[in-house]
Amino acid sequence: MNDGWVHVADRTRARNLFLSLVHGPFSLQVIDGARRKQFGDGLYSTIFGDNRNLTRDQFQFVDVRWRQIDDESGGLTARVYQGMYRYGGTYAYDVPPVTLNVDEIRARWWGAEAQYARTLGPHHLTIGAEYVNVPGALLRNFDVNEDGSPVGCVSTATATPCLDARSGTGNAALFVQDDVRLAAHWRLAGVLRHDRPRGLGSVTSPRLSVIYSPRDSTAIKLIYGSSFRTPNLYERAFTIPGYKSSPNIRPERVRTIELVAEHSFRPNLRALGSIFEYRARDLVTAFIDPVDSQWTYGNVQSQRSRGVELELQGRARWLDVRASVSAVNTKDETTGTRPPGSSARIAKFRAGVPWHDDRWHLGMEARH
């Protein structure tokens, strides 16, 4: 470092692996990724130019599926999966002589899902169940000396970590889906899903779509749906000086309604257009509690998004291309302003080269 300049202090090294195998009724997917990022720009008020400022994260996921088709009218699908996420961060602070603050986040989960589909007259019915278990998630923050020896939490002058939250969670769900042909050009598809996230009651999420197809190459869809997101461990249990835990926050809820038009000009060229509205309520947001002036998380925000999107899809023997553009107006319903980070216009482009009858793909994607 010289006169406020620092060289080669912001570096990133990453690896990513994706493997997909299919053999008979079985399929396997494996994802493995890791990243190490070193930063020296003084982020989070750390010591400028100190090469000990770095973060590391790792993600692994394995998914095994089995599918048995009885005949053209139905079949059974089952899957089991397991995942792992790990994050670590080291931050150098000018607390004499130097104090290293350490973040540690770990989580493992596993799950299973089964579906059975059957065609009965004009109905194509699917029933299913899913269970996911997170036996233990860990969220820790503590301080160490330069030699790595622990010193507890410097900001609170205690020998215990600044943060040590551990929690298990999970979810059990049942769902039923029906796709029925009402008339020559009309179809109705509906899904009803009931979830019981551990410790958060139950949530029922309906989804419904009406599809009109005047010809084989054209379809118009009216789609309604709802979903939810449960608060994570960070949002529920983050407690450092100035922050307090939020054990009573509720799941976030999202409602969507969308009108979609699709048309195939030829078998390998298709265009799509949509008008949509998304409304999210009970969003988990950090705020200062006026009672004690501490930061906490609560269901205090709602957002509404309205927009349009156009997409063109083309495929040749050796190339698969997709391009889309969208315009979105997002507003915070509490303040009436556009939320930070919400884009008014988004353009995407993706190109891929299929190999060996679509068993392998090599591609690139750009977004602006």
Element housing 74 (H / E): strand 74-93
Residues of the chain with pLDDT under 70: 1-9, 72, 356, 358-359
- pLDDT of amino acid 307: 97
DSSP symbols for 115-128: EEEEEETTEEEEEE
- pLDDT of amino acid 6: 66
- pLDDT of amino acid 2: 53
- pLDDT of amino acid 114: 98
Q: How far is CA 172 from CA 107, 130, 165, 203, 294, in A?
A: 19, 6, 24, 11, 34
pLDDT tens-digit series, residues 60-80: 999 999 999 877 678 999 999
Element housing 243 (H / E): none
pLDDT tens-digit series, residues 199-231: 888 999 999 999 999 999 999 999 999 999 999
pLDDT tens-digit series, residues 104-154: 999 999 999 999 999 988 899 999 999 999 998 999 999 999 888 888 998
Would the pTM of this model clear 0.85, i.e. be above it? no
- pLDDT of amino acid 108: 96
Q: Which residue has the tokens 């988004």?
A: 346
Q: List % helix, strand, coil for the chain (3-state, nearest 5).
A: 0, 70, 25
- pLDDT of amino acid 96: 81
State what percent of residues in the chain have pLDDT above 70. 96
The span from the CA of 31 to the CA of 13, in Å, is 17
SS3 at position 194 = strand
Q: Which CATH architecture has domain 11-367?
A: Beta Barrel (2.40)
CA angle 1, 155, 147 (to 5 degrees): 55
Element housing 268 (H / E): none
Radius of gyration of the chain (CA): 25
Neighbours of 243 (CB within 10 A): 15
Q: How far is CA 65 from CA 17, 114, 132, in A?
A: 19, 10, 15
Contact 314, 269 (CB under 8 A): yes
